[in-house]
């Protein structure tokens, strides 16, 4: 865990810096998360930064074990009256080290993927540390869908990074940058067109 939190805190700080430059209209732009604006994703990141193991389980029970309902309630709870208010809340939690149940590596996934959920629709680009993206990708493909991962989605496929010495899996090849592979296996279909290889067709058909 000790080497995970510096990565998480670096990504939180980088996203806060990007959010500081947005105008109100940009905060209300649709993100890559279906149904969520940039503002909603920022509020979700406040919620997940505050999450504890016990708090997560209690919240899930109150949401009748519906993850989507739980996330929606978290966004509603932490979305400020204005973007500046939400940004201040995000600053307040930027250095927290609490985590819901599961591997702390999921916090890297949370920061990188949601960072791109915000940045890509706004045309913002971040040069992520390679280690952060690789660890997020390895976590996703090693974790079942029931736990929020992508193991089921990439079964029978070989992921091959074009910007790193990294291959994961076995089967038909899906080739692309680590970051694009991470986004697609995390359900962001907008990154599919930049991938190549015989496995892309199969991947595009999977939920």
Which of 82, 116, 96, 104 has the alpha carbon at shortest distance from 187?
Answer: 116
Across residues 28-53, what is the average pLDDT?
A: 95
Give tens-digit pLDDT for 70-106.
888 989 999 999 999 999 999 999 999 998 888 889 9
The three-point CA angle 5-7-13 to 5° equals: 100
Under DSSP, the state recorded for 170 is S
Percent of the chain with pLDDT over 70: 99
What does pTM read for this prediction? 0.93
Give tens-digit pLDDT for 181-193.
999 999 999 999 9
Looking at every residue in the chain, the average pLDDT score rounds to 94
Enumerate the β-bridge partners of residue 173.
158
Give tens-digit pLDDT for 132-161.
999 999 999 999 988 889 999 999 999 999
Fold of domain 130-204: Nonspecific Lipid-transfer Protein; Chain A (3.30.1050)
Q: Check pLDDT > 90 for residue 63.
A: no
CB 70 within 8 A of CB 60: yes
Give 167's contacts (C-beta < 8 A, 6+ positions apart). 158, 159, 160, 161
CB 153 within 8 A of CB 199: no
pLDDT score at 58: 83
Across residues 55-81, what is the average pLDDT?
A: 84
Which strands, in side-by-side order, build the sheet including 172-176?
A: 167-169, 157-161, 172-176
pLDDT score at 100: 87
pLDDT band at 52 (very low <50, low <70, confident <90, very high): confident
Which of 181, 173, 23, 16 has the alpha carbon at shortest distance from 113?
Answer: 181
pLDDT score at 132: 96
Domain residue limits, the chain: 4-122, 130-204
pLDDT score at 1: 56
């Amino acid at each position: 865990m000790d080497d995970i939190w510096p990565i998480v805190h670096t990504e939180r700080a980088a996203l806060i810096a990007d959010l500081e430059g947005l105008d109100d209209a940009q905060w209300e732009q649709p993100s890559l998360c279906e149904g969520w604006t940039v503002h909603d994703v920022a509020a979700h990141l406040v919620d997940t930064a505050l999450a504890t193991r016990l708090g997560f389980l209690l919240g899930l029970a109150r949401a009748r074990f519906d993850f989507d309902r739980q996330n929606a309630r978290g966004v509603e709870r932490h979305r400020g009256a204005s973007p500046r208010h939400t940004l201040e809340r995000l600053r307040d939690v930027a250095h927290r080290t609490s985590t819901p149940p599961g591997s702390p590596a999921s916090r890297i996934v949370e920061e990188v993927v949601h960072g791109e959920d915000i940045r890509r629709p706004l045309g913002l680009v971040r040069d992520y540390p390679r280690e952060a993206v690789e660890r997020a990708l390895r976590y996703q493909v090693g974790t079942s869908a029931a736990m929020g991962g992508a193991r089921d989605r990439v079964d029978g496929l070989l992921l091959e990074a074009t910007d790193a010495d990294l291959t994961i899996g076995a089967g038909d090849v899906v080739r692309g940058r680590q970051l694009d592979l991470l986004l697609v296996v995390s359900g962001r279909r907008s990154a599919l067109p930049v991938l190549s290889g015989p496995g892309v067709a199969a991947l595009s058909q999977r939920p």
